[in-house]
Amino acid sequence: MTKPTIVIVPGWRDSGPGHWQSLWAERMQGAVRVVQDDWLAPGRAAWVSMLETRVLECPGPVVIVAHSLGCIATAHLPEAAAARISGALLVAPADPERRAVLSDFAPVPHAKLPYRSIVVASGNDPYCPVRLAGAYARAWGSEFVRMQNAGHINLESGHGDWPLGLALLQSLTDEPANLLAGRSNIEPLATL
């Protein structure tokens, strides 16, 4: 089986230096990062199109690593792109109905995703209530991991390298020991 390509999908305003997504993108061999034309005023059509293009460019299966609004963009992917995905780690999904700048992404799709997925949310995320993240997980057919007092699971809430996230990602791939390039200071976990 072909090793999946890790596609990193940042949320609104991108994931800056030191954010776990940025660290993983630098350290994971073969990972690709979705870069949007407008990080500050996101439009659903443009964001989903850019994500779809990146997924379809990959030579084989894809594992998505999305944060915040990137989770919602992933849920909006059309069928052809979704069919290429073998798994998705969907971290701290956004609530586009609570922020006017994100409203173009509402309503959030509530159809079951056609691949294995894990939604990770925090009990004190200021951008999405944990009960709503849990409702997304149920609707999408995702496994649900609830973290306590983890904020938006970003650099500001103390999540730099984020080993738990890496372990969850490894559970979605076939080659956990080989996920990271040798230049990382993150030790891959062989099992969860």
Q: What is the pLDDT of residues 159-177, one digit of tens each?
A: 999 999 999 999 999 655 3
Share of the chain above pLDDT 70, in %: 90
**Mean pLDDT (whole number) for 53-60:** 97
Q: Which pLDDT score is estimated for 176? A: 53
Residue 122: strand pairing partners: 147
DSSP string of 72-114, one letter each residue: HHHHT--HHHHTTEEEEEEES---TTT-GGGGGGPSPP-SPPS
Q: Which pLDDT score is estimated for 171? A: 94
Q: What is the pLDDT of residues 87-144, one digit of tens each?
A: 999 999 999 999 999 999 999 999 999 999 999 999 999 999 999 999 999 999 999 9
Q: Which residue has the higher pLDDT, 34 or 3?
A: 34
Count Cα atoms within 13 angstroms, Cβ side, for 126: 4
Q: Which pLDDT score is estimated for 1? A: 63
